Chains A and B, each alone.
Chain A
Amino acid sequence: GAGVSQSPSNKVTEKGKDVELRCDPISGHTALYWYRQSLGQGLEFLIYFQGNSAPDKSGLPSDRFSAERTGGSVSTLTIQRTQQEDSAVYLCASSTTGHLGSYEQYFGPGTRLTVT
């Protein structure tokens, strides 16, 4: 079956512009995660959606960042008034859930954001 897809694969934007990044999870996966990875760095958790529950936004670095998930499927991460420090690869992952709590996450190919 299809994996996690993300679009665009690359995005170059000018400082101060808004950007929207899209994630389409694996069909049937109820949990969706956004991470950020700067060059040579580890994964930075941003936000997590689980079914119809309120999202866990604890990783969002500032109020310029927001995300929504429509219909329990596709998610959009929006960055307003982009700054150069926002340049990174934005990764989306999805997973099923169960009694163990944490199940394996499958990652999309990422969106490379460059703010000039």
Chain B
Amino acid sequence: QKEVEQNSGPLSVPEGAIASLNCTYSDRGSQSFFWYRQYSGKSPELIMFIYSNGDKEDGRFTAQLNKASQYVSLLIRDSQPSDSATYLCAVGGSYNTDKLIFGTGTRLQVFP
């Protein structure tokens, strides 16, 4: 069983729509959760992090965390073609490690 799972996609949404990206994780002790955006040929770029249950909003991005369901999601409102990229979910484990476990990513395509 993979430790962090994401649908590989592609997830195709029209410009202006809400894109919803989902991630599940297996370690119930996980304390920190991150979303990275990776454009083709580029390195991952941190866009959101969340530590507490609930929602965290930053501009057009909202991260949602539900520790009971071991589920974290990223919503992108008013999607733009420039949002087309692969989105990586990363999960931090227990208190005694700094390592993150990365999912394999979901490819998002926003079409005009």
How many angstroms from the CA of A107 to the CA of B97 in the assembled complex? Answer: 18
How many angstroms from the CA of A64 to the CA of B66 in the assembled complex? Answer: 41
B46 in the interface (beta carbon within 8 A):
yes
Listed residue (A42, A89, A91, A100) with the most chain B CB atoms within 10 angstroms of its CB: A42
Report the minimum CB–CB distance from B109 to chain A (whole Å).
15
Asked whether A101 lies within 8 Å of B97 as measured between CB atoms, the reply is yes
A-B contact count (CB 8 A): 64
Report the minimum CB–CB distance from A103 to chain B (whole Å).
7
Summarize A's interface: helix, strand, loop or mixed: loop
How many angstroms from the CA of A45 to the CA of B105 in the assembled complex? Answer: 15
Cβ of A103: which chain B residues have Cβ within 8 Å of it? 32, 92, 98
Chain B interface residue count, Cβ-Cβ cutoff 8 angstroms:
26
Asked whether A99 lies within 8 Å of B95 as measured between CB atoms, the reply is yes
Asked whether A110 lies within 8 Å of B43 as measured between CB atoms, the reply is yes
How many angstroms from the CA of A10 to the CA of B84 in the assembled complex? Answer: 25
Cβ of B7: which chain A residues have Cβ within 8 Å of it? none
- B91: nearest residue on chain A (CB-CB)? A102
How many angstroms from the CA of A108 to the CA of B49 in the assembled complex? Answer: 18
- B30: nearest residue on chain A (CB-CB)? A102
B25 in the interface (beta carbon within 8 A):
no
| Chain A contact residues, CB within 8 Å of chain B | 31, 33, 41-43, 45, 48, 50, 56, 89, 91, 95, 97, 99-110
